[in-house]
């Protein structure tokens, strides 16, 4: 029997008989590994555990702990759900059913809309399919055979998917019991591996995301290896509902979305206080780091967007208008305006690096079904910056952005993970430029000692990028900051600087955001703090509560003193019991309450109550001012 070498992730290798499956390799390495294995990676390709090795190969056994392992686990879960739906609702037609972050979904064309009341029956049928432990068998067909097969089943959407594939694309199907689906795989060995799952919600979804197509029914679900992990996740979802920024925004009177402007947020007075504090903090920290702030127009000539490349890559997401019989576009991003600003005059190499920041309002057309409070809107303010630099300055400037990003996130207590994304298929520029840019980002991360996940082919169309994913207090992650290195825009806009040799040279530029979108970052903060913003961010920092009407004058005096000293203070002069006022202030999540009555008036003191710590006792007002000043200045 011919022998082959199997090279493992740890750098070691083993010899086996040709034709051994990767599942058998896992068993040979460790019984525990074989038990945990879900799929494998062979020479960079994801395969099932029954895949047979025919030559020397690099093999990586994947478990549920690996992202690709989770995806395969949840993709199999979506097939189980689709099989259950077909059993209960036989006339249903299948569209697509991928794994997504934290779960899966499947789109169905069904006679009547699903309701959450249908979930119990579907879950019961899914449990039967899991108990039946069907093996998932991979089938390969020619394009014509696959079209004929799905036409016979009446699965029109599967036929359309196959017809849109390139003629030389291999067609694979997966069969489990009586159910067969079009799928590239890979999958779990059998349905019995999915023991912990839950259907979560149902929503409408247009076929292929196009509003002109038929509305389908999308059922979302999630699944885990262990029931405890599922329970923890469901508890997190309940906590997330409690923290929903849309709900808290209404309760605290911060912001809203009106019917007259779907996707266009309104900020209320208290919401504007929060927003202005955040923007002022951003400005202060950027000024310290040598950034100059600019403002570019919201509407610019259509030709500009052809020149920048956004027309070819982004026009479906843009809004357009006509001015003086000329075609104009509402900007979906700030960078082309920034290019015009740089190009307005000649620069010397001594002027670089030039760091230019903009809190720029942009508009992007989002499908109505994708809109979600402040998280997904049609207009938002990017905390943008563009850095123009010499090639020799690239690494130091990227490091500077990383350090500023790390500092700003630390103020809010965010941990984060980093991803590096490389050249996509629809990119502009030469392979050489892309390699130089990608290596520069990689080197900066290495210097800072930052571990990162590599996302092959997921860069912007003009350059590779580093993305920062924040982790909030209940474990959810949010993509916010990004650093994009760009050799293409300076070329397209013919940007230059005069070098030490007296000749014109092309600068390199960085596009970057830290908060990402001010609106979305406020939503993330609202959920992270559950509306209980720290004192330096809170729209109202102190509420003064008189015990009876005769204490109103003293309460106003205290409030005025706080206001003059720069604090955001209010009084509650309603003719209500003080206990009721305290509960109301607590519900409004005010950091500090000052209760004043006869004793406080006589002694010239205030009784201090903290939102999180309760009664702190009596304080001289000046003593309280010193305490709150220290808390606000330290941004605790």
Q: How far is CA 285 from the centre of its chain?
A: 24
Residue 289 burial (CB count, 10 A): 14
Q: In 201-264, which residue ranges form alpha helices assigned H by DSSP?
A: 227-242, 245-251
The candidate with the shortest Cα–Cα distance to 359, out of 254, 289, 280, is 280
- DSSP class of residue 88 equals H
- Coil, helix or strand for 433? helix
Q: Please report, for residues 160, 397, 400, 456, 513, the alpha-carbon distance to residue 441 in angstroms, rounded to integers and kept in the order given.
A: 41, 10, 12, 14, 15
**CB of 615 closer than 8 Å to CB of 609:** yes
- DSSP class of residue 553 equals H
Per-position DSSP letters for 267-305, written without gaps between them: E-HHHHHHHHHHHHHHHHHHHHTTEEE----SEEEHHHH
| Beta strands at 265-267 and 255-257: parallel, antiparallel or unpaired | antiparallel
What angle do helix axes 67-88 and 119-132 make, rounded to 10 degrees? Answer: 110
**Within 13 Å of residue 17, how many CA atoms lie on the same side as its CB?**
4
**CB of 255 closer than 8 Å to CB of 238:** no
CA–CA gap between residue 477 and residue 524 (Å, rounded): 10
Number of helices (H), then strands (E), in the chain? 20, 33
- Coil, helix or strand for 62? strand
| Beta strands at 99-100 and 93-94: parallel, antiparallel or unpaired | unpaired
CA–CA gap between residue 579 and residue 575 (Å, rounded): 12
CA–CA gap between residue 107 and residue 101 (Å, rounded): 16
The candidate with the shortest Cα–Cα distance to 246, out of 222, 266, 218, is 266
CA-derived radius of gyration, the chain? 29
| Beta strands at 93-94 and 103-109: parallel, antiparallel or unpaired | antiparallel
How much of the chain is in helix, strand and coil states, percent to nearest 5? 40, 30, 30
Residues catalogued as catalytic: 335, 364, 382, 384, 386, 465, 511
Tokens of 426: 């629809």
**Alpha-carbon dihedral 450, 456, 457, 462, rounded to 10 degrees:** 30
Q: Hunting for tokens 């694979």 — which residue is that?
A: 172
CA–CA gap between residue 383 and residue 511 (Å, rounded): 11
**Within 13 Å of residue 250, how many CA atoms lie on the same side as its CB?**
8
Residue 109 backbone phi and psi in degrees, to 5: -100, 110
CA–CA gap between residue 222 and residue 214 (Å, rounded): 25
């Amino acid at each position: 029997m011919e022998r082959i070498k199997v090279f493992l992730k740890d750098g070691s290798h083993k010899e086996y008989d040709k034709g051994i499956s990767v599942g058998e390799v896992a068993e040979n390495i460790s019984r525990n590994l074989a038990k945990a294995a879900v799929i494998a990676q062979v020479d960079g390709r994801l395969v099932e555990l029954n895949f047979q090795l025919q030559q020397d190969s690099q093999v990586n056994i994947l478990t549920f702990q690996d992202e690709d392992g989770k995806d395969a686990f949840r993709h199999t879960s979506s097939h189980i759900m689709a099989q259950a739906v077909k059993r209960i609702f036989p006339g249903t037609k299948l569209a697509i059913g991928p794994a997504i972050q934290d779960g899966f979904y499947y789109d169905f064309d069904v006679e009547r809309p699903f309701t959450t009341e249908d979930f119990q029956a579907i879950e019961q049928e899914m449990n039967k399919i899991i108990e039946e432990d069907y093996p998932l068998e991979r089938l390969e067909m020619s394009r014509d055979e696959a079209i004929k097969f799905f036409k016979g089943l009446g699965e029109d959407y599967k036929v359309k998917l196959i017809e849109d594939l390139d003629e030389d694309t291999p067609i694979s199907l997966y069969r489990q019991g009586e159910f067969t689906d079009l799928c590239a795989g890979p999958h779990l060995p059998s349905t019995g591996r999915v023991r912990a799952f839950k259907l979560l919600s149902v929503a409408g979804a247009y076929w292929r995301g196009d509003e002109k197509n038929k509305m389908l029914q999308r059922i979302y679900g999630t699944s885990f290896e262990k029931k405890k992990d599922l329970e923890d996740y469901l508890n997190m979802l309940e906590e997330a509902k409690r923290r929903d920024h849309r709900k808290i925004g209404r309760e605290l009177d911060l912001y809203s979305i009106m019917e007259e402007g779907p996707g266009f947020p309104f900020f209320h007075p208290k919401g504007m206080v929060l927003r202005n504090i955040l923007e002022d903090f951003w400005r202060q920290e950027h000024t310290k780091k040598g950034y100059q702030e600019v403002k570019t127009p919201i509407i610019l000539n259509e030709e500009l967007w052809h020149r920048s490349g956004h027309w070819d890559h982004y026009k479906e997401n843009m809004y357009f208008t006509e001015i003086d019989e000329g075609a104009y576009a509402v900007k979906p991003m700030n960078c082309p305006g920034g290019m015009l600003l740089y190009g307005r005059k000649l620069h010397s190499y001594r002027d670089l690096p030039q760091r230019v920041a903009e809190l720029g309002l942009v508009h992007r057309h989002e499908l109505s079904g994708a809109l979600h409070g402040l998280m997904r809107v049609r207009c938002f303010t990017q905390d943008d910056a563009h850095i123009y630099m010499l090639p020799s300055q690239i690494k130091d400037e990227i490091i500077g952005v990383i350090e500023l990003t790390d500092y700003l996130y630390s103020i809010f207590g965010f941990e984060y993970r980093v991803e590096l994304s490389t050249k996509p298929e629809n990119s502009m520029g030469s392979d050489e430029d892309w390699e130089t840019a990608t290596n520069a980002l990689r080197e900066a991360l290495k210097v800072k000692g930052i571990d990162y996940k590599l996302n092959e082919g997921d860069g912007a169309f003009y350059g590779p990028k580093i993305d920062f994913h924040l982790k909030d207090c209940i474990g959810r992650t949010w993509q916010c900051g990004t650093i994009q290195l760009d050799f293409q825009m300076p070329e397209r806009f013919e940007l230059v600087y005069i070098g030490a040799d007296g000749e014109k040279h092309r600068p390199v530029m960085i596009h970057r955001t830290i908060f990402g979108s001010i609106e979305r970052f406020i939503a993330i903060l609202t959920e992270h703090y559950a509306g209980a913003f720290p004192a330096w961010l809170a729209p109202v920092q102190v509420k003064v509560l008189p015990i009876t009407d005769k204490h109103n004058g003293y309460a106003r005096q205290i409030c005025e003193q706080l206001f003059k000293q720069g604090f955001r203070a209010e009084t509650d002069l309603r003719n209500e019991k003080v206990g009721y006022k305290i509960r109301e202030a607590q519900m409004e999540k005010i950091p500090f309450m000052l209760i004043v009555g006869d004793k406080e008036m006589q002694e010239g003191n205030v009784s201090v109550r903290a939102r999180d710590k309760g009664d702190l006792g009596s304080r001289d007002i000046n003593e309280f001012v010193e305490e709150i000043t220290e808390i606000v200045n330290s941004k605790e």
